[in-house]
């Protein structure tokens, strides 16, 4: 079974940094994409970033480009989201998710990540105070 567990959330002041961790198990990193998503209060869930399998290709939604960085430690089955220059609008529950990397270009969204993820972990709350 695919299992994902996000951690590392907390309270941080605007301009600060946090690193989220996603512990993954039950699948091979080399043929999967790991994504980070967030859902702010009263808003729909949005994709933040993804890391695509063995190529380690990374993509980011426009609002976090230059501030967030996704990375992995394959021997440890971990994926991280380094978040810098955090702003109050980054406040949300953050989730990591996984999917077997699609092979058709049409299965990817406008910022280069798979459109659908089928395995989800529990979220971790990030609160950024102004």
CA 100/CA 111 separation, integer angstroms: 18
pLDDT tens digits along 60-71: 999 999 999 999
105 phi, psi to nearest 5 deg: -55, -30
Mean pLDDT of the chain: 94
Q: What Å distances lie between residue 90 and 1, 10, 77, 108, CA to CA?
A: 31, 12, 26, 24
Tell whether the model's pLDDT for residue 123 goes beyond 90.
Answer: yes
């Amino acid at each position: 079974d695919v299992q994902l567990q996000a951690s590392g959330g907390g309270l941080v002041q605007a301009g600060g940094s946090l690193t989220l961790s996603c512990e993954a198990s039950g699948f091979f990193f080399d043929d999967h994409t790991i994504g980070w998503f967030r859902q702010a209060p009263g808003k729909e869930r949005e994709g933040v970033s993804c890391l695509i399998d063995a190529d380690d290709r990374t993509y980011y939604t426009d609002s976090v480009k230059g501030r967030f960085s996704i990375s992995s430690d394959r021997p440890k089955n971990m994926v991280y989201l380094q978040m810098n220059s955090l702003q109050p609008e980054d406040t949300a529950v953050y989730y990591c998710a996984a999917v077997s990397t699609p092979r058709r270009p049409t299965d990817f969204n406008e910022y280069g990540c798979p459109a659908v993820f089928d395995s989800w972990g529990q979220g971790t709350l990030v609160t950024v105070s102004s």
